[in-house]
Amino acid sequence: MAKDIPDPIAPEKLIEEVLSAYPAKSAKKRAKHLGVAAPVAEGETEIVSKCDTVKSNIKSVPGVMTIRGCAYAGSKGVVWGPVKDMVHISHGPVGCGHYSWSQRRNYYTGTTGVDSFVTFQFTTDFQEKDIVFGGDKKLEKTIDEINELFPLAKGISVQSECPIGLIGDDIEAVSKKKKKDIGKTIVPVRCEGFRGVSQSLGHHIANDAIRDWVFNGGEESSYQPGPYDVNIIGDYNIGGDAWASRMLLEEIGLNVVGSWSGDATLAEIENAPKAKLNLIHCYRSMNYICRYMEENYGVGWMEYNFFGPSQIAASLRAIAAKFDKTIQDKAEEVIAKYQPLVDAVLAKYKPRLEGKKVMLYVGGLRPRHVVDAYHDLGMEIVGTGYEFAHGDDYKRTGEYIKEGTLIYDDVTGYELEKFIEGMRPDLVGSGIKEKYPVQKMGIPFRQMHSWDYSGPYHGYDGFAIFARDMDLAINNPVWGLFDAPWKKSA
Amino acid sequence: MPQSADKVLDHNKLFHEPEYKEMFKNKRATFENAPTAPQVTEILDWTKSWDYREKNLAREALVINPAKACQPLGAVFAAAGYEGTMSFVHGSQGCVAYYRSHLSRHFKEPASAVSSSMTEDAAVFGGLTNMVDGLANTYALYQPKMIAVSTTCMAEVIGDDLNSFIIQSKEKGSVPEDFDVPFAHTPAFVGSHVDGYDNMQKGILTHFWKDAERAETDSINIIPGFDGFAVANIREMNRMLAAMGVEYTILSDVSDVYDTPSDGDYQMYAGGTKLDDVKAAINAKATLSLQEYCTRRTLEFCEEKGQKTAALHYPMGVAGTDEFLMTVSELTGKAVPDCLTLERGRLVDAMADSQAYLHGKTYAIYGDPDFVYAMAKFVMETGGEPTHCLATNGSKDWAKKMEELLASSPYGQGCQVWAGKDLWHLRSILATEPTDLLIGNSYGKYLERDLNIPLIRLTFPIFDRHHHHRFPTFGYQGGMTVLVKILDTIFDKLDTETGTLGETDISFDLTR
């Protein structure tokens, strides 16, 4: 590793240091987002930090290089984009759809361009005249053209970009009208990028659109449910995550009716309320619709975690406990079946990774969900934070992390760089925007949104890949080449 | 159980194991409400038919897989090429995350920019407070030498006035009165990233030149334009100009910005055109644009300031480079030195050596207007035939210029020019009138897969191959890179087609 590495600085000190760089008004605001996991207080059950309170899910401070995205990214990019047999229109100017085109690696099977459309960029490509005169007519025509050119598409979603809400377009009226015309589900989504403070509101709006335009107003589902029907909710099948998870659920005897929304079809969305149980992985992005299904269709929901063998086994048992003994026995069989793989993975990689310190900064569930996967490999989490968490996410984080862990909410580029510099972890897991600055500092890095083009990381099949990836990142010889030999101090 | 610790299977192998294939089959049959296999085949075949092509080309509203981005991306790229400059994009924050990601994925480098993070309240009341606070924060945290302000479409729709906002921010002390805050309105619903590049260049020059007196020198200015190969191309150009002994200033030099070393220090600001040099650049006798469609407004402004201007279309290939060198020679009075004549000869030599494999090959070329022009020109020099030339962000004027170019060579006869069309149009076009090769960017891989036409990645963005942009495409040396990429693709294809033992390997030749 390059540089003479100074001793790590205490998290409290680091927070104080970064805050001192801000103008007073912003320092005050940012202080509420930074904290250190405190010991369990009397009467409390879990580790807490300052971020446990209401100091998350609030507006980003302008000009600080927030890493967050927008509501459109949360709806089109996360929730709707992976629904493979629908055409998702990026409604507005060309950019949003362009930058998000094929970037989340939501794997799917199908014939792209014929019955599947995930890796497409459909847009109304707004011009000045559309801003001035409104885009409703253009949207109508767009829907007709989609219907003609993609006859096997099962439906269409309209993903609003910023201008739509500002120019007073009525995409709901257009959607209703065109649904009658073409006889297919059309879902208008008011996910304009300026709404809310991050991707998070986009998730919520996208969930509401499922409620309003698929469950109520879509096609009636004729699916005949069985006693072991479940849905996977909040797994976007990045690098095939939902498939590695589905494999395990099927092995313990469950039927996965809906895969939301990685590799999903519209039918899987429509049929989901008939399942017995919703299994939710990314709580942040899809808890809303789970609560709705519970209230209106009596479908219970539970969170689970398929990162790393400890959590996978615990989750399989917890899921099985919701069913009968057949399922419970099978769950034990499956855990036992995969134990030799787990043992082999740990035998190979744990010695190479034990004691390594990790800092994370990711999105919806991963800042907590992946923690035990690292623990399984003997690694330690020294800092973690979320782009767009709410208070309930931070509350759920306590059980995973250790006292003294640095916590950062909606971290800024400046803070993250200083924290990494100060703590000198052995590995950072974050996004593409963070990858190259961190690597130039001589610190190994893995993208933890896209799995750095690897994956799956879910399930037992995924854990082997996860362990291998962490090893190859940390133990690659390139980190030893940073110093030119003639520059080395005597 | 397919997975093993011994030999970890990645997604590209894992999901083709029998367990997973069986799972996919069941999912499709039971839960997906999927169309039948004959239905899929029928539609797939239809999408490749002339009937589909006619319907597809008749689209009026829907745009599918356009080969263009929006203005602010170009603005952020242009601003990045100036010393110590932070881009500040006024409007919604998600956009900035997108530009940064997009640039990082191509260059495999950090890409810094900040947002004024406007939300619903700013949509109602305007984003002045966001600008005031935002500039103060950016200035304090990132200590830039200059903050270049552009806009997202949100700020444009609500009509925020950057000039007035920046003046007010300075009055409120966000940044010092004399701190450089150039700006450009960059509406995403007008033009594309090449226009954003133009607007930001003009904004920066206007900021430094508007009240300045001009005293002409012998120096010239060069504006590279939006270019995914800028890192290597600018360095290659520097080398050629040094050989000529020309005095010049590059306006927006990203070569060291998007190519910083790994040595243990992350430098947010590296390289870039020095701000003092930008100020002095008003005195240049001429400004030369290497990409006309990236710089039309900027060049008009340079002319207003009394400079001579000239514009090229991406100096690539033999004649493209000749034109660049002769234009520079004309503007500066410096002769083209023998060492460059020698390089020219080497490129021509290489082309002559390989001409048998290049002659008569047909090409589809897409990308930004200047790139497509240059690429078609180079292809024709090799005896290749550009058959379809497409620029989603190409204007009628561009189409006319393309037609003139194609008419100038026997190899351009029969080429169709597609201005304003997208890559789903191109799919129909190539399904009905296929070419031997396709030249474009990473998005072309879908066409390569669907139509089995080999893709050569020669323009921005390239996400799925690494480091190509670190080798030049400009100049005679760059011409060599381009030539070898084309040849490698041709030879690889030939080897693949003749590479099955005992079946197709009659012509699996050792020497080609």
B365 and B471 belong to one structural domain: yes
How would DSSP label each residue in B457-502?
E-SS---SS-SGGGS--SHHHHHHHHHHHHHHHHHHHHHHHT-STT
Rounded to whole angstroms, the Cα distance separating B17 from B9 reads 10
Whole-number Cα distances in Å, A383 to A10, A68, A362, A371: 12, 18, 11, 10
Residue B439 has pLDDT above 50, yes or no: yes
Catalytic residue among B63, B157, B336, B348: B157
B395 and B471 belong to one structural domain: yes
Mean pLDDT score, A447-475:
98
- How do the residues of chain B divide into helix, strand and coil, expressed in percent and rounded to 5? 50, 10, 35
Does residue B44 lie within any of the structural domains?
no
pLDDT band at A45 (very low <50, low <70, confident <90, very high): low
B378 and B489 belong to one structural domain: yes
Does residue B62 lie within any of the structural domains?
no
On whether ipTM exceeds 0.90, the answer is yes
Mean pLDDT score, B114-118:
98
> Which residues in chain B are closer than 8 Å to A109, comparing Cβ atoms?
24, 27-28
B186 and B231 belong to one structural domain: no
pLDDT band at A2 (very low <50, low <70, confident <90, very high): very low
Q: How many CB pairs under 8 A join A and B?
A: 351
Q: Given CB atoms, is B501 within the 8 Å cutoff of chain A? A: no
B378 and B433 belong to one structural domain: yes
Does residue B424 lie within any of the structural domains?
yes
Q: Given CB atoms, is B133 within the 8 Å cutoff of chain A? A: yes
**pLDDT computed for residue A5 by the predictor:** 61
Mean pLDDT score, A337-344:
98
Residue B279 has pLDDT above 50, yes or no: yes
> Which residues in chain B are closer than 8 Å to A71, comparing Cβ atoms?
94
Q: Given CB atoms, is B217 within the 8 Å cutoff of chain A? A: no
Residue A371 has pLDDT above 50, yes or no: yes
> Is B101–A433 a contact, with Cβ atoms under 8 angstroms apart?
yes
Whole-number Cα distances in Å, B253 to A56, B238, B298: 40, 11, 16
Q: Given CB atoms, is A54 within the 8 Å cutoff of chain B? A: no
What residues 413-442 of chain A have any CB closer than 8 A to a CB of chain B?
A: 413-414, 417, 431-433, 435-442
Q: Which of B33, B59, B140 sits opposite A145 (nearest CB)?
A: B59
Q: Which residues pair with A232 in a beta bridge?
A: A259, A279
Q: Given CB atoms, is A195 within the 8 Å cutoff of chain B? A: yes
Query: Is residue B257 flagged as an active site residue?
Result: no
Total domains in chain B come to: 3
> Is B116–A62 a contact, with Cβ atoms under 8 angstroms apart?
yes
Does residue B394 lie within any of the structural domains?
yes
Residue B420's closest chain A neighbor by CA? A125
Q: Given CB atoms, is B128 within the 8 Å cutoff of chain A? A: no
Mutate to test the interface with A, among B135, B157, B195, B197 (most CBs of A within 10 A): B157
> Is A98–B99 a contact, with Cβ atoms under 8 angstroms apart?
no
Is residue B386 within 8 A of residue B356, CB to CB? The reply is no
Mean pLDDT score, A109-126:
98
The answer for B394, left when phi > 0, alpha when psi is -120 to 50, beta otherwise, is: beta
Kindly provide the b/e burial profile for residues A29-61, where b requires at least 16 CB atoms within 10 angstroms of the residue's own CB.
Answer: bbbebbbbbbeeeeeeeebbbbbbeebbbebbb
**pLDDT computed for residue A53 by the predictor:** 55
> Is A152–B35 a contact, with Cβ atoms under 8 angstroms apart?
yes
Q: Which of A22, A73, A193 sits opposite B137 (nearest CB)?
A: A22
> Is B115–A121 a contact, with Cβ atoms under 8 angstroms apart?
no
The domain ranges of chain A are 11-62+354-453, 71-215, 229-334
Q: Given CB atoms, is A482 within the 8 Å cutoff of chain B? A: yes
Does residue B1 lie within any of the structural domains?
no
Residue B19 has pLDDT above 70, yes or no: yes
Q: Which of A115, A265, A435 sits opposite B40 (nearest CB)?
A: A115
**pLDDT computed for residue A301 by the predictor:** 98
**pLDDT computed for residue A489 by the predictor:** 63
Please report, for the domain that includes residue B325, its CATH number: 3.40.50.1980
pLDDT tens readout for residues A180-190: 999 999 999 99
Does residue B487 lie within any of the structural domains?
yes
Considering the four listed CATH numbers 3.40.630.30, 3.40.50.300, 3.40.50.1980, 3.40.190.100, the one that applies to the domain covering A71-215 is: 3.40.50.1980
Alpha-carbon dihedral angle through residues B452, B453, B456, B459, given to the nearest 10 degrees:
-100
Closest chain B C-alpha to A39 CA, distance in angstroms? 32
> Is B11–A107 a contact, with Cβ atoms under 8 angstroms apart?
yes
B112 and B224 belong to one structural domain: no
> Which residues in chain A are closer than 8 Å to B189, comparing Cβ atoms?
92-93, 126-128, 130-131, 163
B232 and B206 belong to one structural domain: no
Closest chain B C-alpha to A44 CA, distance in angstroms? 36
Closest chain A C-alpha to B127 CA, distance in angstroms? 10
> Is B97–A70 a contact, with Cβ atoms under 8 angstroms apart?
yes
Is residue B324 within 8 A of residue B315, CB to CB? The reply is yes
Is residue A83 within 8 A of residue A264, CB to CB? The reply is yes
Kindly provide the b/e burial profile for residues B214-236, where b requires at least 16 CB atoms within 10 angstroms of the residue's own CB.
Answer: eeeeebbbbbbbbbbbbbbbbbb
Helix (H, G, I), strand (E, B) or coil at B505: helix
What residues 31-50 of chain B have any CB closer than 8 A to a CB of chain A?
A: 31-35, 39-40, 43-44, 47
> Which residues in chain B are closer than 8 Å to A114, comparing Cβ atoms?
40, 43-44, 47
What residues 144-163 of chain B have any CB closer than 8 A to a CB of chain A?
A: 152-154, 157-158
B78 and B197 belong to one structural domain: yes
What residues 352-411 of chain A have any CB closer than 8 A to a CB of chain B?
A: none
> Is B94–A71 a contact, with Cβ atoms under 8 angstroms apart?
yes
Q: Supply B109's token pair.
A: 């480098």
Q: Which of A433, A440, A456 sits opposite B262 (nearest CB)?
A: A440
How would DSSP label each residue in B127-146?
SHHHHHHHHHHHHHHH--SE
> Is B70–A95 a contact, with Cβ atoms under 8 angstroms apart?
yes
pLDDT tens readout for residues A153-181: 999 999 999 999 999 999 999 999 999 99
β-strand B114-115 against A380-386: which pairing, if any? Answer: unpaired
Does residue B439 lie within any of the structural domains?
yes
> Is B110–A73 a contact, with Cβ atoms under 8 angstroms apart?
no
Sequence-ordered list of residues with C-beta below 8 angstroms from that of A344, at least 6 positions apart, any chain: B4, B5, B6
**Residue % of chain B over a pLDDT of 90:** 100
Q: Given CB atoms, is A182 within the 8 Å cutoff of chain B? A: no
What is the domain extent for residue B301?
Answer: 220-258+268-338
pLDDT band at A1 (very low <50, low <70, confident <90, very high): very low
Q: Domain A229-334 is in which class?
A: alpha beta
Mean pLDDT score, A54-82:
95
Range scoring the smallest mean pLDDT among A46-60, A150-164, B137-151, B156-170: A46-60
Q: Given CB atoms, is B265 within the 8 Å cutoff of chain A? A: yes
Does residue B138 lie within any of the structural domains?
yes
What does the DSSP 8-state code read for residue B392?
Answer: T
B367 and B407 belong to one structural domain: yes
Q: Given CB atoms, is B4 within the 8 Å cutoff of chain A? A: yes
B237 and B333 belong to one structural domain: yes
Q: How many residues does chain B have?
A: 512
Residue B127's closest chain A neighbor by CA? A62
Closest chain A C-alpha to B139 CA, distance in angstroms? 9
Catalytic residue among B76, B114, B149, B153: B153
> Is A436–B138 a contact, with Cβ atoms under 8 angstroms apart?
no
> Is A193–B92 a contact, with Cβ atoms under 8 angstroms apart?
yes
pTM exceeding 0.95: yes
B250 and B157 belong to one structural domain: no
B278 and B397 belong to one structural domain: no
Residue B149's closest chain A neighbor by CA? A63
pLDDT tens readout for residues B35-77: 999 999 999 999 999 999 999 999 999 999 999 999 999 999 9
> Is B70–A123 a contact, with Cβ atoms under 8 angstroms apart?
no
**pLDDT computed for residue A49 by the predictor:** 67
Q: Which of A63, A70, A347 sits opposite B135 (nearest CB)?
A: A63
Residue A456's closest chain B neighbor by CA? B11
What residues 235-254 of chain A have any CB closer than 8 A to a CB of chain B?
A: 239-240, 243, 246-247, 250
**Going by CATH, does the domain composed of A11-62+354-453 fall within 3.40.50.1980?**
yes
pLDDT tens readout for residues B180-222: 999 999 999 999 999 999 999 999 999 999 999 999 999 999 9
* Mean confidence (pLDDT) of chain B: 98
